[in-house]
Chain A
Amino acid sequence: MEAVMFYVLAAITLISAIFVVFLRRPVHNVVFMIVTMIGLAGLFLLLHAEFVAMVQLIVYAGAVMVLFLFVIMLLNLETVNPAQDARAARMWVGALLSLGFLVLMGPVLKMIFPSGPTVGAAAFQPGMSNTEIVARELFTTYLLPFEIVSVLLLAAIIGTVIVSRKRSG
């Protein structure tokens, strides 16, 4: 059952990711990006990572992608036609580079099918939900980075205010 679910979700994710790259209209790209994100969220659920799955849905499929759609609507990209000339050459160069990278990463890809038990899976404890574990770790072991992130967010907010005020003032 789990294997079937995995292959279905993986197929959805991969096929919509391919659509993201190859479709020409920006709105279509974004919609398929959302499907990719939902597929990934399903994969995380299969791994018993409920928290990450929900974050994936709320933050990526929800907030980030809606932002993308807004930007596309505001810019009215439908009317923009990208230049055609360099496209073919660029595609070939890109294909060659990706092929080279694939060859380089071949040994890594092979490791995706490990034979022994995987490390890091020990964190999964039955009887304790994934969200609870994440919360515990966040507020105990990883307390410091969690607090540094608040400084990061403050800096980001100040930056946003400066940039937008510069535009209006």
Chain B
Amino acid sequence: MIQFPVVNLGGILPALILCIAGLVVMLACLFVKRGTVTVAAIMSAIGILAAGAANSPLRVLNETAFSGLVSLDPYSWFFNFLILIATGLTVLASVRYLSDDEPGAYEYFVLLLFSGAGMMFMVSGNHLLTIFVGLETLSISIYVLAGIIPKNPKSSEAALKYLILGGFSSGIFLYGAALLYGSAGSTGLPALTEYFKAGTFGPMALAGMGLLAIGFAFKVSAVPFHMWTPDVYEGAPTPITGFMSVGVKAAAFAAFVRVFFDALGELQVNWTEILWVLAALTMILGNLAAIVQDNIKRMLAYSSIAHAGYILIGMVAGTELGTAGVLYYLLAYTFTNIGAFGVVALVGSKREANVHIDDYRGLAKSNPLLALVMSIFLFSLAGIPPTAGFVGKFAIFSAAIAQGYIWLVVIGALTSAASVYYYFRVVMKMYMEVPETTPARLEFSPSMILALGIAVIGVVYIGIFPTTYLNLALESVKPLF
């Protein structure tokens, strides 16, 4: 007689709802003749709201489900919400970007929802297998989404590059998992914790840890595993670029932190040094390369690399405060970057025009409100108070100083000072310069206004009243320590 495991559908309900919403959108939109995109977007938004409601109970749980393969704890709760925010804002920002008669108009939303579900499985995975399957679900969807613009060679190039390098990094991740399995006899995170607590591990387990770190570093685009980022971010449709820069990054960091603090916590002395070097390289190269970019999507891509470096500082610090800083930073970064890419999508209109930084000249004259909103996002990216980006950097840097990583924080502070230059270049262009040609009229859609509004309110609100959110982050990382 086969013993079936206890099926706890309530625990994975948020991800389940996203999957079902994806299926519903896919089937229902076959019968919708006009306004497919709008209908698909509305259904996706309803699905995301329902998933958000289903996610709330996770906050008070602290248990595992499905024979220990997923953990239902405040940590999963926090990241599920973050992913739902990112997915929801991307849905809103995408409506005007797509048109009904194009191929892939509503499949876009289906894939977006599936990738959201994959991310949720990844962040709540309590076993390397669940994490990997979630990672692949989100990756496959994103590969397709990156190449979804018809007849655009850059978009196809982005999809192909991301597919090949993503497959490569998945291979490395699996190799690491296999070496850990070979050493510990299991890839469940609790089993790995016990194995490392026993203290009899050999070099094979350490090599496995290193390969896992490389696999994650690929996904969060830390230097020297960042090669794919600028090209993919430039070629992908702008709303998807925004989604990649926050959603994929947040999910990858969530799994990274969970695996390294929970399962490999005993090896902290071994991996802190590696992450130190990664963080320093990532901050320096990301910020320096961003300075010379003229394409705003490439600039934001390098800026997203640099931000991965700041987040890594939080992991290096290693304390509860440091990891809570990581969570807060990711929340702040979600609002900020989706907003910034939303503005880029709006200015760039449908066909990826106007992506040059010079195209932002005189935006303050023609669209003062949009220029103000963009400036707020750029201020937050640069880490200037009273925005959320400042509090995030402050939380991470202070946690690192408390642990004595002075030099890393010095590098972080210096590079973020350098980053002010390239963020302010855009602000200067918007406010101080006049456009050479008459700017094209921008098409504001209600959903885009809603998305930008939510993002701006998020950036300013959690920047001015950070205490609640910092406490939430602290509460969420409790299960890892």
Contacts and interface: CB of A to CB of B under 8 A. Distances in A.
A127 interface: no
B308 interface: no
A139 to B, nearest CB: 7
A155 interface: yes
Contact of A145 (B111, B117, B130): B130
B159 to A, nearest CB: 8
B207 A141 contact: no
Given A159-B140, A162-B144, A145 B3 contact: no
A144 to B, nearest CB: 4
Contacts of B328: none
Contacts of B129: 142, 145
Nearest to B121: A148
Nearest to A120: B185
Contacts of A74: none
Given A119-B185, A162-B103, A162-B107, A145 B133 contact: yes
Contact of A148 (B104, B115, B137): B137
A110 B144 CA distance: 42
A141 B140 CA distance: 25
B137 A141 contact: no
B19 A111 contact: no
Interface in A105-161: 105, 107-108, 110-111, 119-120, 122, 136, 139-145, 148-149, 151-152, 154-156, 158-159, 161
B207 A155 contact: no
A158 B103 contact: no
Contacts, number: 103
Interface stretch (B65-73, B89-97, B361-369, B418-426): B65-73
Interface in B214-272: none
Given A144-B66, A145-B69, A151-B137, A120 B181 contact: yes
Contacts of B207: 105, 107-108
A82 interface: no
Contacts of B115: 155
Contacts of B458: none
A151 B202 CA distance: 37
Interface string B2-32: 1111010000100000010000001000000
A107 B181 CA distance: 17
Interface string B259-294: 000000000000000000000000000000000000
Given A158-B110, A159-B111, A144 B148 contact: no
Tell me if B's interface is mostly helix, strand, loop or mixed. Answer: helix
Contacts of B318: none
Interface string B117-147: 1100100000101100110110011011001
A100 to B, nearest CB: 14
B104 A166 contact: yes
Contacts of A151: 19, 114, 117-118, 137
Interface size bucket, A side? 20 to 34
B114 A155 contact: yes
Given A108-B179, A144-B12, A148-B130, A155 B204 contact: no
A144 B136 CA distance: 14
B35 interface: no
Contacts of A122: 185
A107 B204 CA distance: 7
B439 to A, nearest CB: 31
A23 to B, nearest CB: 23
A30 to B, nearest CB: 19
Contacts of B182: 120
Given A143-B66, A151-B118, A158 B107 contact: yes
Contacts of B181: 120
B114 to A, nearest CB: 5
Nearest to A149: B133
A157 to B, nearest CB: 10
B203 interface: yes
B254 to A, nearest CB: 16
A107 to B, nearest CB: 4
Contacts of B110: 158
Contacts of B130: 144-145, 148
Nearest to B108: A162
Interface of B: 2-5, 7, 12, 19, 26, 66-67, 69-70, 103-104, 107, 110-111, 114-115, 117-118, 121, 127, 129-130, 133-134, 136-137, 140-141, 143-144, 147-148, 150-151, 179, 181-186, 202-204, 207
21 contacts: A105-B207, A108-B203, A120-B186, A141-B5, A143-B4, A144-B12, A144-B70, A148-B121, A151-B114, A151-B117, A152-B118, A152-B137, A154-B114, A155-B114, A155-B118, A155-B141, A159-B111, A162-B104, A162-B148, A163-B147, A166-B150
